[in-house]
Structure 1
Amino acid sequence: MKVKIFAVLALASALVLTPTQASIPFFSQKNETPTLAPMLEEVTPAVVNISVKGKREVRQRIPDMFRFFFGPGGPREQVQERPFQGLGSGVIIDAKEGYVVTNNHVIDGATEILVTLKDGRQFDATVIGTDNRSDIALLKIKDGEDLTEITIGRSADLRVGDFVVAIGNPFGLGQTVTSGIVSALGRSGLGIEEIENFIQTDAAINSGNSGGALVTLNGELIGINTAILGPNGGNIGIGFAIPSDMMKNLVAQLVEFGEVRRGVLGVRGNDLTHDIAKALDLKANQGAFIAEVIADGAADRAGLKSGDVITAVNGEPIRTFADLGARVGTIGAGKELTLTVLRDGKERKFKVTLSAEEQAVSAASIHPAFNGVTLAPDEQGGLKVTEIEAGSVAERYGIRKNDVILAVNRSPVNSVSELRESLSDAGSVIALNIRRGQSQIYLVLRGG
């Protein structure tokens, strides 16, 4: 405990020595005792508690021994609606409009949403729009008065080691503040959300903190607390927040359209590794290596080529291919962006207007085996199963929601038209190469 106290005092001394740093609201006005209180007094009224009620479908498989009660062709599952309650956090980003940002998983399926302010006032809220792929939701407080909004900062300016503060409602205790540092940036591939570009922090985040604020010592919002990595849901100092820049892009679309109209770049690739950089004689250590440019896509029309390495989007560095996907995936269709690209050892810039993402379509008309399946192009290639009907032919074959179909009988498929063509050429056996989580599997179906 003494070590922590000494560390804080040492930090205080360092801040006092620098006029610019001393302007941070880190000290009390009475005796300059190190404290975050002045900043928190301004910021915490903008962080709210969210309680929800609703009903969710619960599916329970019916044992085969009991199915005879329902006769031939009886249901394989029993579906029931059960009430649920939940708690989370949110952040007021627009006091005039009453807009509150939170996580989609906090309000998913809710029919009643109650927002509680720090001063104890309570308001009903409605959903403006959600994006389950990035886990962002936008709410509107009904008849809210004298609300306090938070200042939104630029998460692109963050550095590893910056001090941050997490504010939320852990375990329903009420508003709670914890502190830490930025442990890492651009975390992806965790399997928490479909689109990931997380800020990692060691500020304590627990159940109920979801949707709360991650702020700088200046009180600027730079992240929406979303998830933790820890056994049994307990905090072990590894928490993740959605960057504010990413959140702002998504919220702007939710306000304008009520949904996210995601843009698509039209490239496939992977991280720029040391081996790739050495083989191509590239003077770069990070970036998104383009292995393939989709014909007539946004990147193709802008002049990008396979072998290019994207190192920045709108001047902000790109570390990995997943980082690129997260940046592009949160910018709306039709938006223009500037890509910094390494080609033949030289840096070039390209202006790209993003294409509109293909919408999900029912696959029932493509082949009888896909009856009950809804597919959509996946950002990393292939076709993703976005929905599957319980008891359908496809489910009995073993196809699951969120599976990504990569190939049919070894022929790659990246669009519905390619899937239809591959299936029409298939014989009596259809072998689907599927990406499921971090693994690849094969499912064998009977042909037409």
Structure 2
Amino acid sequence: MRKKNLFVISALALTVSTLMAPLTANAALPITVSNQSVPSLAPMLEQVTPAVVSIAIEGKQVSKQHVPDAYRFFFGPDFPTEQVQERPFRGLGSGVIIDANKGYIVTNQHVINNADKIMVQLYDGHEVTAKLIGSDKSSDIALLQIDTPKKLTAIKLANSDKLRVGDFAIAIGNPFGLGQTVTSGIVSALGRSGLNLENIENFIQTDAAINSGNSGGALIKLNGELIGINTAILAPDKGNVGIGFAIPSNMVNNLTAQIIKFGQVRRGTLGVQGRELTAELAQTFGYDTNQGAFVNQVMPNSAAQKAGLKAGDIIIAVNDDPIRSFSELRAKVATLGAGKTLTLKAMRNGKLQQFTVTLSASADNLVNADDLHSSLSGAQFSNTTVNGKAHGVEVTQLTKGSLAARSGLLKGDIIIGLNRLAINNLGQLRKALAHPPKVIALEIQRSNNVLYLIIR
């Protein structure tokens, strides 16, 4: 699995360990051995482990090497300045079935990055090819889908905002390709950030043994509900030291819902700049704890300004869920999605204030057409909706004289079809152009008219 620097391996894997703290009767399901009641996680795990799968990928890694100028001297100025090499690679990871009826599986984006083929191995050993529905690099989430006659088992998602430090946690995954492995521990910390792993960080920290290959696996509660997707470990020596990190289930739920609906994450933005709150800063602004997000600046015409937020406010809750840091606020806002309305609680001059905010769309939601098809170069696209439902892909930016402009596209055009295939979102357009036909007929809605543009 691809490794990431900064002490951290982005692949989390689980190794077998024993539960060190005593369990209460409510914490585990008891079984009887030799007429004695013995606490065991086995009954719960028998219900949950079929929902955790192993993922194997195949792909090609493209590398470019500069050709020395001497080659151009001997072979002429037309000799290429770069050599492109393709090297096949394979990778292993884990995934979690979150919808048994539709075959949806969530994993990490880095698990399937650059994959040409994705194979999912179910708990019973059955293998099936998966297709990528969508992914988000900033939050390291990817959504796959499989189609199989096999009866699937899904994990129920818990409310990760209700977690407490000290709650028991069990990790399930595929460490080092050994096969499904279960380890146990506790929630060591919440709201971890600053690891320089991904752009959006709001991790659950756990001491459940995790090792390379466990990325995309499940972190669950004692009742079998999913509290997080294992993503990284702190590993100076590339081994487990009891510090692992998982993406909270509430973030996973928000992100996958957007991918299913729009084919991508529609990131929301509040429009504030801020910093972590220190005890000294809190005292200066009439607040008696360092839990919260300090607002340095409110951007003009932003969602925050429209709601009435001001510089110097200390945001302490989102939708009644406590905010521990500015990083946690940023992660929650970014994953809730554009257009979402939420309630913020903030301290201002020592008094509690409440604000209702409708999140704006982030510039990250724009997609460069170059990433979709070379003939559309010069355009930027974003999803558009009508009455809350996905309704095509809008041309939001267009460079004058570009290939996209010369093909007849105009700013404000909405792509609703391609070669008689309905296009509702960017995910569908990306999929349709993954292996483009020789002739592309784009069905365009322009004001109240519908027309076709032919692109070669």
Same fold (TM over 0.5): yes
Q: What residue in structure 2 maps to residue 104 of structure 1?
A: 109
1:117-266 correspondence runs (5 A): 117-266=122-271
Compared CA separation, residues 224 and 147, structure 1 to 2 (3 A): same
- Give the CA deviation at 1:283: 2.8
Matched, 1:47 2:38: no
Q: TM-score, normalised by structure 1?
A: 0.75
Superposed displacement of residue 110, structure 1: 1.0
Query: Any idea what the Cα deviations from partners look like across 1:324-373, whole Å, max 9, x if unmatched?
Result: 100001011000011011112111111100001125588xxxxxxxxx9x
Question: Does the C-alpha gap of structure 1 residues 232 and 81 become closer, same or farther in structure 2, counting only changes over 3 Å?
Answer: farther
Offset of residue 71 of structure 1: 4.2
- Separation of aligned partners in 1, 2:74 and 2:165: 62
Q: CA, structure 1 residues 361+70, in 2 after alignment: closer, same or farther (shift >3 Å)?
A: farther
Per the alignment, residue 27 of structure 1 pairs with 30
Q: What's the offset of the Cα at 1:29?
A: 4.7
| CA distance in 2: counterparts of 1:322 and 1:342, whole angstroms | 18
Runs of 4+ in 1 over 6 A off after TM superposition: none
Provide the rounded CA distance (Å) in 1 between the counterparts of 2:26 and 2:151.
Answer: 28
Q: Secondary structure at the match of 1:33?
A: strand
What residue in structure 1 maps to residue 319 of structure 2? 314
Q: Distance in 2 between matches of 1:231 and 1:28?
A: 40
Unaligned runs of 5+ in 2: 1-16, 369-377, 381-456
Higher relative contact order (CA 8 A, sep 6+): 2
Would you say how many aligned residue pairs link Structure 1 and Structure 2?
Answer: 352
Shift in alpha-carbon separation, 1:303–1:120, aligned structure 2, 3 A:
same
Q: 2 CA distance for matches of 1:108 and 1:65?
A: 36
**Counterpart of 1:291?**
296
Shift of 1:74: 6.1
- The reply on whether 1:56 has 2:61 as its aligned counterpart is yes
- Superposition deviation, residue 280 in structure 1: 2.0
Paired residue secondary structure (2:161)? helix
Corresponding position: 1:90 with 2:101: no
Tell me, which stretches of 5 or more residues in structure 1 are unaligned?
16-21, 363-371, 375-448
Amino acid corresponding to residue 314 of structure 1 in structure 2: N
Residues 123 and 144 in structure 1, CA contact (< 8 A), matched pair in contact too: no
- Report if aligned partners of 1:131, 1:259 keep a CA contact under 8 Å in 2: yes
> Residues of 1 paired with 2:30 and 2:155: CA distance?
20
- Residue 73 of structure 1 and its aligned partner are, at CA, apart by 8.2
Question: Residues 28 and 308 (structure 1 numbering): CA distance in 2 closer, same or farther, change over 3 Å?
Answer: same
Per the TM alignment, residue 28 of structure 1 is displaced from its structure 2 partner at its CA by 2.2
Separation of aligned partners in 1, 2:104 and 2:310: 42
Q: Give, as a single letter, the amino acid of the residue that structure 2 aligns with 1:27.
A: P
1:268 aligns with 2:273: yes
Change (3 A) 1:74 1:311: farther
- 1:55 Cα deviation from its structure 2 partner: 1.4
Give the AA of the match of 1:356. A
Counterpart for residue 336 of structure 2 = 331
Return the letter of the residue paired with 2:141.
I
Residues 344 and 124 (structure 1), Cα distance of their counterparts in 2 relative to 1, 3 Å cut = same
Identity %: 61
Answer yes or no: is the 8 Å Cα contact 2:28–2:39 preserved in 1: no
> More deviation in 67-76 or 263-272?
67-76
Q: Shift of residue 24 of structure 1? A: 3.7
SS, match of residue 30 in structure 2? coil
User: Structure 1's 199 and 63: CA in aligned 2 closer, same or farther, altered over 3 A?
Assistant: farther
Q: 1:209–1:361: structure 2 CA closer, same or farther, 3 Å change rule?
A: closer
Aligned mates of 1:253, 1:37 — CA distance in 2: 35
Q: Are residues 63 and 145 of structure 1, via their aligned partners in 2, closer, same or farther at CA, if it must alter by over 3 Å? A: same
